[in-house]
Structure 1
Amino acid sequence: MTGRLDGHAEDRGRVYQALGDQHISEHHHHGRRADEVEAPQGPDSVRRPSVGRPPVVLRDRAGVLERLRASVREGQGGEAFVLYGMGGCGKTAVAYTFFDLATRECGRAGLWVNASDRASLRAGMLAVAADRGAADGELLAARNGLRPAADLVWQYLDRSQESWVLVLDNADHPEILRDGSWLRTSPRGTVVVTTRRPAARWWPGAELQYIGVLPREDAARVLRDLAPHSGTQQEAAQVADRLGRLPLALTLAGGFLSQQVLDPWTMEAYGRRLEEGAGVELIDQGADALSEEDPRHLVGLTWQLTLDAFESRGLPEATALLRLLARFAPEPLPLSLLNHDGIGAALPRARCETALRALLDQSLTELVDTGERCVQSHAVLLDSVAAATSAELAAVLHTTAVALLDAAVPAVPDAGPHDPKLRLLVPHGLALLRGAGDRTTSAAALAVVTRLAAALHRTGDYLSARETARAAADLGEGRLGTEHRLVLAAGSRTGRALFRLGEYSEAEVLLRRVHAAQERLFGTDDPDTLDSRHGLQLVLGNLGARDEAVSLLRSTVAGRRRALGADHPLTLRSRSSLLVLLSASEVVQEEDGALLSLPAECARSLGPEHTVSLGARHNHAWALYQLGRFDEAGQEIRLVSEAYRRRFGPDHPVALSARQLLSRTLVARGHVAAAVEIMTDVVVRRERGLGADHPFTVAGRRLLGDFTSKERRPPAG
């Protein structure tokens, strides 16, 4: 001991020194214990505004708030307001404050929906319907696109026992509100929309309220609200002027100033840095022309100052992480995607936690919980960071982002229950495809997004699969050309989803076109050609073109044997389809009778629980039923039905198909009442999940009618 106190700590490090004996106990508690189970996010998440940080004090919005307050007084309702202005001007802060007073002071039920894109709007509005009392089956039908989702939501809003306030936040693409007529009014509540798009044609019947930058004095007060000890009102006003008096920039600047501990910054020092940087002229231009069409440059240097501070504090990985996040969409990004070795190309994986905490501390990103723990950053921030990233570095980051998404999507999508994480990945995959800088990166992104669409398809989320694959095909076509292999594969995937949604005619046209192009470009036995051919025969079989479907399916089986091998899962799957498409006499003769032993062959090659093995047993039960071997068929399909129910849940389309076949075998054995009970349940679930007019639902309803008539028919003799 020298007697000198010379310890030093940086950031959150701590040093304890003493001249005498000391005993120090320190306890740290970080987050949830490993043995604690996180409760699932319920539909009531729409009851809380999804904003990163509530405003400390809302400045200079009294007139707008008073007009909004009048709409929620007792007996009022049926009005819609559009808060418009450039990005970062505080539209969401105004909506948040109004939401709070409407719920807290006026007793309104508050409903908050992120309307930044089609998927977020749809999910949020369906959550609103759930909050207002919609049943699970109705929501499932709406999710699958077989019941008008907007009509369902507004039906329950109109029936609401409570008066409500509905906020549609970040509606910067009003065309998605028009598609389906999501924006409506109701005497039961008040609607508030925030958007950058002020054109009145987008908002018929709504009252527009402009939200602009703050007056000088109020802008200075925002800085001092957040960092009261950093400078005088006059110094704050000078900094506010340099920041263009944009609320978002002021919030970030005030947050930066208030969080410096070891080396606190003053307003004057902050302003001096603004003047010294290469971007001073850009900020001055933004301040002088506040109506500039693209407002992102007004805040670019504010964020860059924070990034520079990361560098000076020895946290370059925080900047690297933010640049990586800027490659993705401004939507909730599952944290599990970042927790992967592939991130090492952008920043050391061991430093990712530190980097993320730094971004959270500076309000450059936020944690959100959608049932999956996610991180989300503001769109303007991400655009600004992306624009300031060099082309060389952007290429590396984009490749890294695609690799991370690739690792998050199942390598070989398999059938399974609904997985909400998959839907969260969709906007990020499409963002990577939009932002790809060259053909190689575009191709890599397109391959991942198409595989993601296949994964959604396998869970029975056919609507999301169709929308994802179609968007991917359109984007890929613009970057790679109409006849690129991956573009055609995305089109084929779209056709498969259209078929499952009951849109047979559109599916046939698309799959015929794709199959013809693939056959011409890649050959008859190319795996992609064969995949489209298998999908096309499914459509034709359901359209009644049986002979052509059989010919295509036999060709697919032969081609897959040659290209992939006899034991490949896809070969076995196509052979399994023959059990359904062929007549009883043809099944017995096909492959010299070997087709009827296909389930045992699949079990030997793939295992008895493999999805293809279960499918083969399902189709084999149908063949047995066609052959009049009803007892054997009933025993097999009952076991398959139970396996499907365990793995996929009772509402999965394949589980309902198995239950329908089980009911047929029961009728054939004289157990009509039991069959009616099963088919009644099948029809109800199909109506909820697929819609009343889906071909599968119509066929099930017809079959139920046949069973019911048999049940009522008096016994012969």
Structure 2
Amino acid sequence: MTGAMDGHAEDRGRVFQASGDQHISEHHHYGDAAAPPSGPDSVRRPAVGRPPVVLRDRAEVLERLRDGMRAGRGGEVYVLYGMGGCGKTAVACTLFQLATAEYGRVGLWVSASDRASLRAGMLAVAADRGAGDGELLAARNGLRPAADLVWQYLDRSAEPWLLVLDNADQPEILRDGSWLRTSPLGTVVVTTRRSAAHWWPGAELQHIGVLPREDAARVLRDLAPHSGTQEEAAAIAERLGRLPLALTLAGGFLSQQVLDPWTLETYGRHLDEGERVELIDRGADALSERDPRHLVGLTWQLTLDVFEARGLPEATALLRLLARFAPEPLPLSLLDRAGISGVLPRARCETALRALLDQSLTELVDVGVRCAQSHGVLLDSVAAATPAEQVPVLDTTAVLLLDTAVPDVPDAGPHDPLLRLLVPHGLALLRRIGDPSTSADALAVVTRLSIALHRTGDYLSAWETARAAADLGERLLGAEHRLVLAARSRAGRALFRLGRYAEAEALLGHVRAAQERLFGADDPDTLDSGHGLQLVLGNLGRRDEAIRLVRSTVAGRRRVLGPAHPLTLRSRSGMLVLLPASEIVAEDGGTLLSLPSECVRFLGADHTVTLGAHHNRAWALYLLGRFDEAGQEIRLVTEAYRRRFGPDYPIALSAQQLLSRTQAARGHMDAAIELMADVVARRERGLGPDHPFTVAGRRLLGDLSSGRWRPPET
């Protein structure tokens, strides 16, 4: 060896410069089964409940949109904008059906309401267009630009397509990452409440407004044909401001009356007697006094009054509970839990939900998980009109239901689409709740949800969720509340995984200093931030600082949590890849190399910490020149990773790379080259040829093939 400083970092690993071939990787285990990243299973169908049987008064709009479907056309972006409840999604859904049935287009439907939903949906689009598991994993883990991957496959599509980005009421999330682009092979349609032209450069904007009088009347008669005449329907439609959402709610109500059916004349009389309900249509322009959105409150209030009169108060209670959540798909499993009894008897939840479905107050949608979804204008209206004395129990129950849906102790595992679906609902609770104690409970749950996302490798969603939760929690709890600091610490951990080391160091350093000042050096939260910070320092090349901090963290966790706690063992495992070879044998009283055996005894052979300890010990043995032992151990780890994650998962490739090194060190050069060639090929497919991990792997393969490679000096 020449003694040159030739270390390099690979696979989210850490490298510290030393004489000789010193390569140190930090290893983490994610999951119990091979599971490529997945998004919603429904990108081939609109995520809406019941599209209108007949789309009234949109012929001119549809004709303009159909022009984009005709042979040889592509590259267009159409933006359908208008107030909430005007039927933008209905127009997009009808176009979607036409594109797939008449024009031979592949239809792709993605919710753009929040970052997590947008990213998951767009990655599902990439998968639909042919992206491989390795590429999708890399995009989800933040190892390659996700939007670039999606549009690469859209541009390569063998079939023309229509892509709908629904509910893009925060256009900035489309701009971040450049999700909205054009392609000669397809047409993009966006639905939004935001019409400012600067959000949609180069797009064709199409306003979707309220319906003309006669068409609005026909909507009522489509839904409730026996409730009155066309002129009576026109009068009621005018009374409802000709807003499609209000018409749908009114028609749904009239169509379901059996024992004592209402006529349109009766319905109009009750409208005249009703009180206006305050309505907040988030993301749209301010309401005028005569804005038809005000009338949505009257339509659903009449329905709830009838529920009460007919002995079904549970339907009212359920709608008010749904209004604490976001207007996004809410997994039905969330409602089928004992905790709902604080608002309505669990045994009555099915009946209450059916009543809401019958009255079009909510819809069933299938996004890979069966969900209920209600319109945002309706939910805002219901939330604003909920009696103040009922709000505390509704908020408490909503938090409890969310709490039971998030794992108590999130563990490494395969991607779970349910977790992504819960994000907007957790953040909506933090926005709605006004009581500090309940807000703290909600923040704890959402932070745990961020941890669960992190441990599936969805680092972008984990960071966005933790950051947003901390910002929302700080409003009521203050910047130095324990839970706010814990959420910011999790955001820092996710930034580290995204490779944003400088930001991660600044955030984790600030949080840890505040925690130490407020709670003490041995507080579990302080120690957790310390563990995260030492990872960052190691990757920044500040080995001495990292070693001091990890030793302090191990000592603190031993005192507070005990020697057998998984977090204590995890921190000790990190020392196996952080310490130079000269210190490994003597560290921790000479017991560090036996750590995997301790993990097996305390946690079991299949625990994530145990498997990571075996991986790290294999690296330490390799540095010590004990190549036979290292090779045997890393082979078992590699096989376990491949079984659990599949051959393309980054950590499986990291283990295979170490296996290649041990094979070379034992003189099995052909086997080493074969293993490393496979690593490079998989990285090129997943990360691209220019990614640093790919480049580093190719360099090692070149050294092995040319005979330049040498084992580490001991």
TM-score by length of 1: 0.88
- Mapping 1:690-709, distance limit 5 Å: 696-709=693-706
Does residue 133 (structure 1) correspond to residue 130 (structure 2)? The answer is yes
- Contact 2:496/2:504 (CA < 8 Å) preserved in 1? yes
**SS of structure 2 residue aligned to 1:45:** coil
- Mapping 1:184-223, distance limit 5 Å: 184-223=181-220
Corresponding position of 2:403: 406
Does residue 88 (structure 1) correspond to residue 94 (structure 2)? The answer is no
C-alpha distance in 1 between matches for 2:291 and 2:646: 48
- Mapping 1:504-523, distance limit 5 Å: 504-523=501-520
Which consecutive residues of structure 2, in runs of 5 or more, have no partner in the other structure?
1-36, 281-285
**SS of structure 2 residue aligned to 1:46:** coil
- Mapping 1:88-237, distance limit 5 Å: 88-237=85-234
With 310-319 and 289-298 compared, the bigger mean Cα shift is at 289-298
- Mapping 1:32-431, distance limit 5 Å: 45-279=42-276, 296-431=293-428
State the shift of 1:240 in Å: 1.1
2:497 to 482, 496, 500: 500
With 252-261 and 121-130 compared, the bigger mean Cα shift is at 121-130
C-alpha distance in 2 between matches for 1:281 and 1:465: 35
Deviation per residue, 1:365-393 (Å, 9 max, x gap): 22222222222222111111111112221
- Contact 1:117/1:176 (CA < 8 Å) preserved in 2? yes
Corresponding position of 2:554: 557
- Contact 1:580/1:622 (CA < 8 Å) preserved in 2? yes
**SS of structure 1 residue aligned to 2:107:** strand
- Taking only the aligned residue pairs, the percentage that are identical comes to 82
1:95 maps to a residue whose letter is A
- Mapping 1:656-695, distance limit 5 Å: 656-686=653-683
Does residue 458 (structure 1) correspond to residue 465 (structure 2)? The answer is no
- Contact 1:144/1:689 (CA < 8 Å) preserved in 2? no
C-alpha distance in 2 between matches for 1:619 and 1:164: 47
C-alpha distance in 2 between matches for 1:281 and 1:586: 68
C-alpha distance in 1 between matches for 2:292 and 2:677: 58
State the shift of 1:699 in Å: 4.2
Structure 1 637/184 Cα, relative in aligned 2: closer, same or farther at 3 Å?
A: closer
With 548-557 and 178-187 compared, the bigger mean Cα shift is at 178-187
Deviation per residue, 1:526-578 (Å, 9 max, x gap): 11111111111111112211111111111111111111112222112112222
Please tell me the root mean square deviation across aligned C-alpha atoms, in Å. 2.6
**SS of structure 1 residue aligned to 2:42:** helix
C-alpha distance in 2 between matches for 1:502 and 1:693: 16
C-alpha distance in 1 between matches for 2:346 and 2:162: 43
Structure 1 134/294 Cα, relative in aligned 2: closer, same or farther at 3 Å?
A: farther
C-alpha distance in 1 between matches for 2:480 and 2:486: 10
- Contact 1:227/1:255 (CA < 8 Å) preserved in 2? yes
State the shift of 1:345 in Å: 0.8
State the shift of 1:425 in Å: 1.3
- Contact 1:56/1:226 (CA < 8 Å) preserved in 2? no
C-alpha distance in 1 between matches for 2:550 and 2:591: 17
State the shift of 1:267 in Å: 0.8
- Contact 1:111/1:167 (CA < 8 Å) preserved in 2? yes
- Contact 1:345/1:400 (CA < 8 Å) preserved in 2? yes
State the shift of 1:697 in Å: 4.9
- Contact 1:602/1:608 (CA < 8 Å) preserved in 2? yes
State the shift of 1:230 in Å: 0.6
Deviation per residue, 1:646-677 (Å, 9 max, x gap): 33444444433332322222111112222233
C-alpha distance in 2 between matches for 1:365 and 1:220: 22
C-alpha distance in 1 between matches for 2:495 and 2:702: 28
C-alpha distance in 2 between matches for 1:560 and 1:712: 40
Corresponding position of 2:469: 472
State the shift of 1:275 in Å: 1.6
C-alpha distance in 1 between matches for 2:430 and 2:680: 40
2:581 to 580, 584, 601: 584
1:520 maps to a residue whose letter is R
C-alpha distance in 1 between matches for 2:74 and 2:709: 53
Structure 1 133/656 Cα, relative in aligned 2: closer, same or farther at 3 Å?
A: closer
Deviation per residue, 1:43-80 (Å, 9 max, x gap): 77323222222212222222222222233233333322
Deviation per residue, 1:151-202 (Å, 9 max, x gap): 3333333333333332222221111222223223333333222211122222
C-alpha distance in 2 between matches for 1:457 and 1:551: 26
Structure 1 322/684 Cα, relative in aligned 2: closer, same or farther at 3 Å?
A: farther
Corresponding position of 2:604: 607
- Contact 2:278/2:294 (CA < 8 Å) preserved in 1? no
C-alpha distance in 1 between matches for 2:559 and 2:189: 60
**SS of structure 2 residue aligned to 1:113:** strand
- Contact 1:343/1:404 (CA < 8 Å) preserved in 2? yes
Structure 1 252/542 Cα, relative in aligned 2: closer, same or farther at 3 Å?
A: same
Q: Which has the larger radius of gyration?
A: 1
- Contact 1:79/1:190 (CA < 8 Å) preserved in 2? yes
With 72-81 and 316-325 compared, the bigger mean Cα shift is at 72-81
Deviation per residue, 1:6-55 (Å, 9 max, x gap): xxxxxxxxxxxxxxxxxxxxxxxxxxxxxxxxxx9997732322222221
1:663 maps to a residue whose letter is S
State the shift of 1:319 in Å: 1.5
1:645 to 642, 646, 662: 642
C-alpha distance in 2 between matches for 1:77 and 1:625: 56
Which consecutive residues of structure 1, in runs of 5 or more, have no partner in the other structure?
1-39, 284-288
State the shift of 1:294 in Å: 7.2
With 697-706 and 426-435 compared, the bigger mean Cα shift is at 697-706
- Contact 1:141/1:688 (CA < 8 Å) preserved in 2? no
State the aligned residue count: 669
Corresponding position of 1:15: none
- Contact 1:141/1:691 (CA < 8 Å) preserved in 2? no
State the shift of 1:623 in Å: 2.1
1:444 maps to a residue whose letter is D
State the shift of 1:295 in Å: 5.7
**SS of structure 1 residue aligned to 2:407:** coil
1:446 maps to a residue whose letter is L
TM-score by length of 2: 0.88
Corresponding position of 1:35: none
- Contact 1:224/1:254 (CA < 8 Å) preserved in 2? yes
State the shift of 1:696 in Å: 5.0
Structure 1 202/317 Cα, relative in aligned 2: closer, same or farther at 3 Å?
A: same
With 659-668 and 212-221 compared, the bigger mean Cα shift is at 659-668
With 182-191 and 245-254 compared, the bigger mean Cα shift is at 182-191
Deviation per residue, 1:418-462 (Å, 9 max, x gap): 222211111111111222212212211111111111111112222
C-alpha distance in 1 between matches for 2:513 and 2:643: 39
With 137-146 and 380-389 compared, the bigger mean Cα shift is at 137-146
C-alpha distance in 1 between matches for 2:399 and 2:486: 18
Corresponding position of 2:633: 636
Structure 1 295/125 Cα, relative in aligned 2: closer, same or farther at 3 Å?
A: farther
Corresponding position of 1:625: 622
